[in-house]
C-alpha cells in the first residue's frame, strides 16, 4: 500500500513575496511568467530568498510490451541503445545537462537488454519490459507499487545530497502509447485526442496505433474514477510508474519538480490523481508536439513554460527550462527595488 502525504504549500508568505516582486525596478508585471515562477518557488521553499541547489535530472528507462503491436516508428532495441548513448554522454539530454550544470542519472526501470554497470546508471530493473496491455495489464498491482517505491527511494537518495530541484525524463520505445492511455483515462478525454505520432509515425501508422489503443481501451474498460494505481498498472510502463513515485516523494520533500513532455506529464497525472497537492510543487517545462499533451495541460489548468515544438522526451524540455527558473530566482534575489535604486514609482 502506497502511503504518501503531500502537504499543501504554506502560503503565509504569499503577500510578502508578491510585494517583493512588485517592488522591483520594473513596471508591474513586466517580467511576466518569470514573476509567477519566482512566486511559486518562494512558496515551495517558504522563503523570500529562494535558492536552487544541486539541480538533478533523472531519466527513467524501460521497455513496453505494447511495442510489439507496431505502435512506434522505431524498434524496441532502441531503448537500451539510447541508454548506452546516455551513459557515454552523446544524447540530447547529456548536452543540455552539461550546458546547464545539471547532474544526470539514468534509471534502468525495466529495459529488455542487459546493461553494464556504470556510475550514471541506477539499476532498478523490474523485468524485461512490461506485458502487452492489449491482452492484460502491463504489470501487476504489486509490481506497480514496487516501481513507485523504487522511484521514491531514488529521490530520497538524491535529496540526501542536498538537491532541491529535479527534472524528470524518460526513455522507452512505445511509451507514447502508454502515456496516451493514461491521459485518456485519467483526464477522461477521447482516445482520438490523446494519440499522436510519437517518434514519427505517418498518418496511416497513427491510425493503426489509434485502433490498437482503442482495442486496449475496450478490453480493460477503465473509467476516470478507477483507482489510479490500477490505471497505472494496467497501462503504465515501469519507467512511468517509477517516475510517478519519484515525483510524489519529491513533492513530499518540497523539492521543485520539473515535468518534461507528454510522457512525464502522464506519470504526473497518476501522481496528481493520488495526491492533487503535488501540483503546487511542479513546473510544466514545455508543451510537447505530441497532441495529447495540450489536453493534459488543460486538464491540470497549467501553462507550460516553453513551446518549442519539441517531441523528444528524455527530460530535454525540463533541462532547457531550468535556466528560466534560475532567472526567476535570480531576479527575486538580486534585482534592486524602486527604493534601493531611488527610481520613481508609477503615477497614480
Ligand X SMILES: Cc1cc2ncn([C@H]3O[C@H](COP(=O)(O)O)[C@@H](O)[C@H]3O)c2cc1C
Tell me the three-class secondary structure of 12-57, residue by residue: HHHHHHHHHHHCECCCCCCCCHHHHHHHHHHHHHCCCCCCCCCCEE
Residue 177 C-alpha cell reads as: 502509447
Q: Nearest to ligand NIO by Cβ — which residue?
A: 261
Q: Which residues contact 221 (CB under 8 A, 6 or more apart)?
A: none
Catalytic residue, chosen from 69, 239, 290, 314, is 314
User: Could you say whether residue 176 binds ligand X (CB under 6 A)?
Assistant: yes
C-alpha to C-alpha distance for 28 and 42, rounded to whole angstroms: 18
Q: Minimum distance from CB of 100 to ligand NIO (Å)? A: 19
**Residue 137, C-alpha cell as written in the block:** 495489464
By CB under 6 A, the residues from 308 to 337 that bind ligand X are 312-314
Q: Is residue 259 at the binding interface for ligand X, with CB under 6 A as the rule? A: no
Burial class from Cβ neighbours inside 10 Å (0-12, 13-18, 19+) for residue 221 reads exposed
| Least Å from the CB of residue 93 to ligand NIO | 12
Q: Give the three-class secondary structure for 211.
A: helix
Interface with ligand X by CB under 6 A: which range of 28-36, 187-195, 267-275, 306-314?
Answer: 306-314
CB count within 10 Å of CB 244 equals 34
198 interacts with ligand X by CB under 6 A: yes
329, 270 Cβ separation under 8 angstroms: no
Task: CB nearer to ligand X: give 171 or 332.
Answer: 171
Give which of ligand NIO, ligand X, none residue 261 binds (C-beta under 5 to 8 Å, depending on kind): ligand NIO
> Which spans of this chain sit near ligand NIO (rule: CB under 6 A)?
176, 198-199, 260-263, 288, 290, 293, 311-313
Looking at the Cβ atoms of 55 and 198, the one nearer to ligand NIO is: 198
Point out which span in 67-75, 118-126, 130-138, 242-250 binds ligand X (CB under 6 A): 67-75
Instruction: Say if strands 256-259 and 282-284 run parallel, antiparallel, or are unpaired.
Output: parallel
Pick between residue 63 and residue 290 the one whose CB is nearest to ligand NIO.
290
Residue among 174, 228, 237, 317 that touches ligand X (CB under 6 A): 174
CB of 285 to ligand NIO, least distance (A): 10
Residue 339 is among the residues annotated as catalytic for this protein: no
Distance CA 206, CA 70 (A): 10
Alpha-carbon distances of 171 from 18, 43, 176, 281, rounded to whole Å:
39, 32, 10, 23
Among 58, 152, 173, 186, binds ligand X (CB under 6 A): 173
Tell me how far CA of residue 49 lies from CA of 39, 102, 280, in angstroms. 11, 21, 18
Cβ nearer to ligand X, comparing 125 with 253 = 125
- Strand, helix or coil at 187? coil
- The verdict on 151 binding ligand X (CB under 6 A) reads no
* N residues, the chain: 348
DSSP one-letter code for 138 = S
Q: Does 82 bind ligand X (CB under 6 A)?
A: yes
Site for ligand X in 89-108 (CB under 6 A): none
Regarding 80 and contact with ligand X (CB under 6 A), the answer is no
Contact letters for ligand X, residues 18-57 (x by CB under 6 A): ----------------------------------------
C-beta of 321: minimal distance to ligand NIO in Å? 13
Longest dimension (CA), the chain: 70
For the range 27-30, what are the long-range contacts, defined as Cβ-Cβ under 8 Å and sequence gap of 24 or more? Answer: 27/346, 28/346
**Which residues contact ligand X (rule: CB under 6 A)?**
72-74, 78, 82, 170-177, 198-199, 312-314
Which active-site residues does the annotation give?
A: 314
Amino acid at each position: 500500500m502506497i502511503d504518501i502525504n503531500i502537504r499543501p504549500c504554506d502560503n503565509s508568505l504569499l503577500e510578502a513575496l508578491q510585494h517583493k516582486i512588485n517592488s522591483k525596478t520594473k513596471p508591474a508585471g513586466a517580467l511576466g511568467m518569470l514573476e509567477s515562477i519566482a512566486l511559486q518557488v518562494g512558496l515551495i521553499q517558504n522563503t523570500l530568498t529562494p535558492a536552487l541547489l544541486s539541480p538533478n535530472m533523472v531519466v527513467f528507462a524501460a521497455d513496453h510490451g505494447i511495442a510489439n503491436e507496431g505502435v512506434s516508428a522505431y524498434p524496441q532495441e532502441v531503448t537500451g541503445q539510447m541508454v548506452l548513448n546516455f551513459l557515454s554522454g552523446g544524447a540530447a539530454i547529456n548536452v543540455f545537462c552539461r550546458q546547464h550544470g545539471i547532474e544526470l542519472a539514468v534509471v534502468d526501470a525495466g529495459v529488455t537488454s542487459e546493461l553494464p554497470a556504470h556510475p550514471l546508471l541506477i539499476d532498478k530493473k523490474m523485468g524485461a519490459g512490461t506485458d502487452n496491455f492489449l491482452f492484460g495489464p502491463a504489470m501487476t498491482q504489486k509490481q506497480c507499487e514496487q516501481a513507485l517505491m523504487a522511484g521514491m527511494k531514488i529521490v530520497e537518495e538524491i535529496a540526501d545530497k542536498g538537491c532541491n530541484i529535479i527534472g524528470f525524463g524518460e526513455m522507452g520505445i512505445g511509451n507514447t502509447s502508454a502515456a496516451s492511455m493514461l491521459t485518456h483515462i485519467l483526464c477522461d478525454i477521447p482516445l482520438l485526442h490523446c494519440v499522436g505520432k510519437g517518434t514519427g509515425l505517418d498518418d496511416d501508422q497513427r491510425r493503426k496505433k489509434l485502433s490498437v489503443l482503442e482495442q486496449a481501451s475496450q478490453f480493460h474498460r477503465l473509467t476516470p474514477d478507477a483507482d489510479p494505481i490500477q490505471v497505472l498498472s494496467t497501462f503504465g510502463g515501469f519507467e512511468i510508474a517509477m517516475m510517478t513515485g519519484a515525483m510524489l516523494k519529491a513533492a513530499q520533500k518540497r523539492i521543485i519538480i520539473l515535468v518534461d513532455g507528454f510522457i512525464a506529464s502522464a506519470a504526473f497525472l497518476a501522481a496528481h490523481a493520488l495526491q492533487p497537492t503535488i501540483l503546487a510543487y511542479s513546473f510544466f517545462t514545455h508543451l510537447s508536439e505530441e497532441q495529447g499533451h495540450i489536453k493534459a495541460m488543460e486538464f491540470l489548468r497549467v501553462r507550460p513554460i516553453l513551446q518549442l515544438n519539441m517531441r523528444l522526451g528524455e527530460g530535454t524540455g525540463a533541462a532547457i527550462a531550468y535556466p528560466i527558473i534560475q532567472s526567476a530566482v535570480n531576479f527575486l534575489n538580486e534585482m534592486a527595488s524602486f527604493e534601493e535604486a531611488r527610481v520613481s514609482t508609477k503615477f497614480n
